[in-house]
Chain A
Amino acid sequence: MAYTYSKIATYTVGSGGVGTINFINIPQTYTDLKLVVSGRTNNAANYDYLTIKFNASTSGYSSKLLYGTGAGASSTAAASDITFGALNGDNATANTFANAEYYIPNYTRNSYKAINQDGVEESSATSTVFAFLTSGLWANTDPINSITLSMAFGTLFKQYTTAHLYGIKAEI
């Protein structure tokens, strides 16, 4: 039986936190990538937003979001950024972390990259946290060889934030 779902790297944030999480030198030998993040930042709110960038590029990103707050659902679009992942902020219930899963098919292909993300923020507080479904685009034909994670509002990923990058090989 083939090993088709392989861990490429894991990043675990230590004490003191970090501002960005980087996966570099991503092997070009898989078909798809899956990135799983359990995250919390120092933003002084229940939530933050996870931002993803490829190959350190700062342009070509856009996204459409479908989200729920527990009280209603809405949709919004972002024309210039992929700030669409779920992250807990520092006011969320202690010891809770948001979950975000990105699926990036055909990341080595020389065409624009479509990305989907499913994410939820976690808190027992009654104030707003979000669940996200997101469609993203990186309008760039370069193969993805690095991924940088950061945040929209805070400055640090908190300790125990984790990010796992998996490679999925479709070949039999």
Chain B
Amino acid sequence: MPKTYTPISTVKIDNSSTTTLDFTSIPQTYTDLVLVCSYGLTAGDLYLRINNDTANYSDTELYGNGTAANSTRLSNRSGYYLSDQGITKPGPATVSTVHFNNYSNTTTYKNVLWRSDDVGVSTEAHIGLWRSTAAITSINCIIINVSGVITPGSQFTLYGIKAA
């Protein structure tokens, strides 16, 4: 097995008051990043931002809720919805896997690909664009829309993938 898939940082939620989490000082030595999230929220939606930027996001989503398939387009946003159903989640019942490809380059806008499954609610696939040429040095997750917390037992791990 090649030594190419390396955990950079893990955040485990052990208390019942966490509303934000940040991965900061991300090493610029990998090719791509993968963020694996297993989480629940007591209310609201989990929003993802890059380098604490509050603008320049757009994404196209394909999703199914068990009865119909749909696609939506969101542009000029202040972040990405990791899961966007806005319901109370009883436990770590959402799985999101987010890919940041070629994250350290300083010449192109960044593509972000992610899959999110809200158990009992929907399954989703997203392609996003962050309109910035800056290298990704931090990833920030916050709860928006209504006050809620990230439920204990949730876990977030950022991996670095080296193509060399």
B123 adjacent to A106 (CB under 8 Å): no
Answer whether residue B95 sits at the interface, using C-beta atoms and an 8 A cutoff: yes
B66 adjacent to A64 (CB under 8 Å): yes
Q: Which residues of B contact A135 (CB under 8 A)?
A: 95, 117-123
Q: Which residues of B contact A4 (CB under 8 A)?
A: 5-7, 159
Taking a contact as CB atoms closer than 8 A, the residue among A6, A74, A134, A171 that contacts B68 in the complex is A74
Answer whether residue B102 sits at the interface, using C-beta atoms and an 8 A cutoff: no
Q: Chain B binding site: helix, strand, loop or mixed by DSSP?
A: strand
Q: How far is the CB of B82 from chain A (nearest CB, A)?
A: 13
Taking a contact as CB atoms closer than 8 A, the residue among A66, A76, A136 that contacts B119 in the complex is A136
Q: Which residues of A contact B124 (CB under 8 A)?
A: 66, 133
Answer whether residue A103 sits at the interface, using C-beta atoms and an 8 A cutoff: yes
Answer whether residue A11 sits at the interface, using C-beta atoms and an 8 A cutoff: no
Interface string of B51-93 (1 = CB under 8 A from A): 0000000000011111111000000000000000000000111
Given A114-B92, A114-B117, the answer on whether A172 and B7 have CB atoms closer than 8 Å is: yes
A169 adjacent to B95 (CB under 8 Å): no
Given A31-B155, A64-B121, the answer on whether A73 and B62 have CB atoms closer than 8 Å is: yes
Q: Which residues of A contact B92 (CB under 8 A)?
A: 106, 109, 111, 114
- Which residue of chain B has its CB nearest to the CB of A166? B1
Q: Which residues of B contact A32 (CB under 8 A)?
A: 36, 38
Answer whether residue A77 sits at the interface, using C-beta atoms and an 8 A cutoff: yes
Answer whether residue A170 sits at the interface, using C-beta atoms and an 8 A cutoff: yes
List residues of B (19-72) whose CB comes within 8 Å of A's CBs.
36, 38, 62-69
B120 adjacent to A2 (CB under 8 Å): no
Q: Which residues of B contact A133 (CB under 8 A)?
A: 62, 64, 115, 123-125
Beyond the given A75-B123, A109-B153, could you list 16 further A-B residue pairs with CB under 8 A, ordered by the A residue number?
A4-B6, A31-B10, A31-B157, A32-B36, A64-B117, A66-B64, A67-B69, A73-B62, A75-B64, A75-B69, A76-B67, A77-B66, A103-B36, A111-B153, A114-B93, A168-B5
